[in-house]
Structure 1
Amino acid sequence: MGAPTQTRRERLRAETTAEIKAVALALMAEGGPGAISLRAIAREMGMTAGAIYGYFPTRDDLVTALIDDVYTSLVDTVEAARDALPAADVAGRIMAWGQAFRDWSLANPEGFRLIYGDPVPGYQPPGDGPAAGPEHRACAGLSGLVAAAWPQAEALHGGAGYAWSDFDPKLAESVREGFPDLPPDAVALALRVWGRMHGLVSLDVYGRLRWQARDAERLYREEMRDLIRSLGL
């Protein structure tokens, strides 16, 4: 059986919801995170404030939806790049993840700023916070890359003396559940890998490399190659 057909009302609601999100990101690109406002979006779209509240009761509901969408898009992209290579090619999968992360970030600078940049002023995430699912997938994906590299990396990075208490309890629980043989030292290494993948990308997204380097992509590739070598691969 095929997917159920949307009614005209449902289709129009989905299109308006998508437009609200697009306008919110455009406002953020122009004025920063604090520019996201339901009233401002309503003005841009020619809607009444009351009408837009029918889609998102509060600004925080909209921000939560945006973060979830953005994080899901990012994780779908990096996972697809990683999984295009065989599991035995650990170095290649790390490079693919890192390169896909950079490409996505530069193509979606507003999304990058929303999930990794300046926080939205006054934003209070509901419950466990937005994007718990995709953020968990991103964490698990990076932990999986380090777990695959750990047989070689342990000789270089084991014995650092980390304990599970050195990490956020939810992170420790997640890693221990998904990778029961991975020690705390490997979790520290995964966080360092994350930092190295993000560093040059963040500078690039915020325009800090624009005048300093003519080929920022080359710098990033070399950083990823050095990262892979540092893992003993």
Structure 2
Amino acid sequence: MAETRGTGRRERLRAETTAEIKSTALALMGSGGPDAITLRAIGREMGMTANAIYGYFATRDDLVTALITDVYTALADAVDAAWAAAPKTDPAAGIQAWAHAFRDWALANPEGFRLVYGDPVPGYRAPEGGAAPDAARRVCVGIAALAAASPRSVQPPTGEAAFTWDDFDPGLLAKVRPAFPDLPPAGVALALRLWGHLHGLVALEIYGHLRAQTLAPDKLFQAELAHLVRSLDLPRA
């Protein structure tokens, strides 16, 4: 029994230290940019040696991969929950819920947003297949549902580029196509374009580029979102 309690305590302390290493890394990135993530700097902030950090992460790249996985998973969970809670009979409400969840998460986690969508960590080499590919693709699946509800996904306007399945990542299609078997390639392209519109304003806000331009970035985001919803000709509840 004593051994079990001791093992449980060691596991708890290890989990707490691992979480502190990750939070310290994100804080360093927030104050000094992505190149500030070094095991030596993290150890200095935590009062540990760099060698002690190696007991938790074998390399700096392993730490960065773990951070990216955590961040992408948290974002995917947030937008999935918003999408799941929206009325299924009202696609317009769905896209608004998804978009607001995306922005709210980014504003609450600016360092995480910068890690996965900003400048790459210098020298970082992702594992084969990329860091957190499953969670990254999950972010796109919810908005694909919105594209599937729009007539524009089946009949894009004349003059738009024609898309084929070969234009998209097989991993993304492996998630999107089973969920939306009637969605054509143009619908996947529409989903990515919708994401790009919403992501662009959020990125400008996170990086501070809107501060000198507007005192109401939330109103700007809502106006763009309303415009997108109207442009999709979504059915009304």
Question: In 2 relative to 1, CA 153–228 (structure 1 residues): closer, same or farther, beyond 3 Å?
Answer: farther
What residue identity is the alignment partner of 1:216?
Answer: P
Equivalent position of 2:215 in the other structure: 214
Alpha-carbon contact 1:158-1:186 (below 8 Å) kept: no
The size of the alignment, in residue pairs, is 229
1:51-86 CA-partner distances (Å, limit 9, x unpaired)? 110100000000000001111111111111122122
State percent identity of aligned pairs: 61
Question: In 2 relative to 1, CA 173–158 (structure 1 residues): closer, same or farther, beyond 3 Å?
Answer: farther
Q: Please say if 1:114 is aligned against 2:115.
A: yes
Question: In 2 relative to 1, CA 135–164 (structure 1 residues): closer, same or farther, beyond 3 Å?
Answer: same
Q: How does 1:46-125 map to 2 (within 5 A)?
A: 46-125=47-126
Counterpart CA distance in 2 for 1:80 and 1:58 is 33
Per-residue deviation, 1:142: 1.9
Secondary structure at 1:7's aligned position in 2?
A: helix
Q: How does 1:24-35 map to 2 (within 5 A)?
A: 24-35=25-36
Alpha-carbon contact 1:157-1:185 (below 8 Å) kept: no
Q: TM-score, normalised by structure 2?
A: 0.90
Per-residue deviation, 1:113: 0.3
Alpha-carbon contact 2:154-2:183 (below 8 Å) kept: no
Listed as ranges, the gaps of 5+ residues in structure 2 are none
Counterpart CA distance in 1 for 2:151 and 2:66 is 39
Per-residue deviation, 1:156: 4.9
Q: How does 1:1-233 map to 2 (within 5 A)?
A: 7-147=8-148, 149-151=149-151, 154-157=154-157, 160=160, 161-233=162-234
Per-residue deviation, 1:174: 3.8
Alpha-carbon contact 1:158-1:185 (below 8 Å) kept: no
Alpha-carbon contact 2:88-2:94 (below 8 Å) kept: yes
Tell me the C-alpha RMSD between the 2 structures. 2.0
Counterpart CA distance in 2 for 1:163 and 1:31 is 42
Listed as ranges, the gaps of 5+ residues in structure 1 are none
**Which deviates the most, 70-79 or 53-62?**
70-79
Alpha-carbon contact 1:90-1:145 (below 8 Å) kept: yes
1:176-205 CA-partner distances (Å, limit 9, x unpaired)? 343221111111111110101101100000
